């Protein structure tokens, strides 16, 4: 299954799960669009199956928590990349800028 196809499958599965729980399809689409990525949609679907939230507010709260975790992960990865580049700069220098050859 290609990446776009697996994303579509996660999107449909999340919406279907929300609809089967008795909520409107538009609510499911809103949750899925806000989550955006396949991984976050699958995480939300797993949460719905295991926790069986009793209200739309609980579902929305979990969506916000998942989105927050994802943003934190993205910031961490960006910081790690910046740190790796900085360490390369410290180790290798500026590549001869200002150095006599």
* Whole-Å CA distances, 15 to 19, 34, 62: 6, 12, 15
Mean pLDDT by 10 residues, the chain (101 residues): 87 98 98 95 97 96 96 95 93 68 45
Give residue 93's pLDDT. Answer: 87
Residue 97's pLDDT is 53
Predicted TM-score of the model (pTM) = 0.76
> What pLDDT is recorded for position 74?
92
SS (H, E, C) the chain: CCHHHHHHHHHHHHHHHHHHCCCCHHHHHHHHHHHCCHHHHHHHHHHHHHHCCCCHHHHHHHHHHHHHHHHHHHHHHHHHHHHHHHHHHHHHCCCCCCCCC
pLDDT of residue 101: 45
């Amino acid at each position: 299954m290609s990446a776009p196809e697996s994303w579509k499958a996660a999107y449909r599965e999340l919406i279907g799960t929300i609809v089967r729980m008795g909520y409107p399809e538009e609510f499911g689409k809103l949750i899925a669009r806000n989550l955006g990525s396949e991984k976050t949609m699958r995480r939300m679907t797993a949460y719905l199956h295991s926790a069986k939230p009793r209200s739309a507010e609980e579902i929305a709260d979990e969506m916000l928590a998942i989105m927050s975790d994802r943003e934190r992960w993205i910031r961490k990865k960006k910081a790690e990349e910046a740190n790796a580049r900085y360490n390369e700069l410290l180790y290798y220098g500026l590549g001869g800028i200002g150095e006599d050859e």
